[in-house]
Amino acid sequence: MPVILGIESSCDETSAAICADGVMLSNIIANQTIHEAYGGVVPELASRVHQQNIIPAVQQAILKAKVSKNDIDAVAFTRGPGLLGSLLVGVSFAKAFALAQDIPLIDINHMQAHILAHFIGDNKPQFPFLCLTVSGGHTQIVLVKDYFDMEIVGHTQDDAAGEALDKTSKVLGLPYPGGPLIDKYARLGNPDAFKFPEPQIPGFNFSFSGLKTSILYFIRDNEAKNPNFVQENMPDICASVEKRIVTILLNKLEKAAMAYGVKDIALAGGVSANTGLRLGIKELADKHGWRSFIPAFEYCTDNAAMIAIAGHYKFLQGEFVGQQVAPLARMPF
């Protein structure tokens, strides 16, 4: 019954989790509010706050799991992709902890871990399945053949869906992080109030730069006619933008699922917390008689539980790394 300590520090959440025989015993996430004043994540500030949070987060994870540090059989950590300074804090801590305890190290790809979050708990997809992975920096459709046998079959050619949401929120004058606020306003608005274009990109790939520009011009032109346009129409604007982003994502996922003949479709990444997207993938699955899988909210955004469960499966395969391991800002999938 392997006990795995998971460490996540790829961006602006410091997280630690304990997994025992594939069962999550704890998942501690320390968020960073310092970036709100700057309208986005400041890498240098993020790495400094990780240094403050990493030891308390690990200590809380161990206490909540009701284990001792001597019970831990291996340390799994996010090696990449992510902000190099932030990754360095988590990697350095993992290496020091493993060295002190004389236990093995397991390096984890952050994007693969988002997908493997579906294996926390009892409701698990069956291989092969398609996973739509959507975050602030990535938008991918991944064909998952086994725990670590994954193929990217579609990806964004420019901006990620999360970036489109964040940049829209800035244009609308919403504070950072804007994605949850767009979600909140969208629940109150009419998704058919305004029409935005759907990019015509071949295959299963995405593009959000054109949509982002069209939203910018839409706001600019309407504010020229009515300076209070955004304030008066905020719910409808958010609902219409969200609907277009969701339809872009799900139309490609539907196309890919039909092409590959899979019956299980899944959602992962920070944007998978969006209400419209969660409802949309369920409706898509119901339409075709497929099964849909969405992680619990605490496993959608960056968290160490997904690192720990990925580490669990690597531990079973005996895949370890040595003390010479270094973080990778860009890590091959």
Over the stretch 97-130, which tens digit does the pLDDT of each residue have?
999 999 999 999 999 999 999 999 889 999 999 9
Looking at residue 223, what is its pLDDT?
96
Angle at 163 between CA 160 and CA 165, to 5 degrees: 115
Annotated binding site for substrate: 133-137, 166, 179, 183, 274
285/14 Cα distance (integer angstroms): 34
Beta strands in 57-216 (DSSP E): 74-80, 105-109, 129-134, 139-146, 149-155
Q: 3-state DSSP call for residue 261? A: coil
pLDDT < 50 regions, the chain: none
Give the helix/strand (H/E) hosting 262. Answer: none
* The pLDDT value given to residue 136: 77
Rg (CA), the chain: 20
Burial 300-327, CB ≥16 within 10 A → b, else e: bbbbbbbbbbbbbbbbeeeebbeeebeb
Question: CA 278, 283, 285: angle at the middle one, nearest 5?
Answer: 100
Sheet with 3-8, side-by-side order of all strands: 23-31, 13-20, 3-8, 74-80, 105-109
Residue among 54, 6, 7 at smallest CA distance from 30: 54
pLDDT digits (tens, 9 = 90+) for 217-230: 999 999 999 999 99
Per-residue pLDDT at 122: 87
Going by C-alpha positions, the residue among 132, 243, 257 that lies closest to residue 194 is: 243
Could you report the per-residue pLDDT of 181-200, keeping only the tens digit for each? Answer: 999 999 999 999 999 999 99
Residues at the annotated binding site for Fe cation?
A: 110, 114, 302
Binding residues: 110, 114, 133-137, 166, 179, 183, 274, 302
SS3 (DSSP) at 179: helix
| Residue-level pLDDT at 313 | 98
Burial of 176 from C-beta contacts in 10 A (0-12 / 13-18 / 19+): middle
Task: Report if pTM > 0.85.
Answer: yes
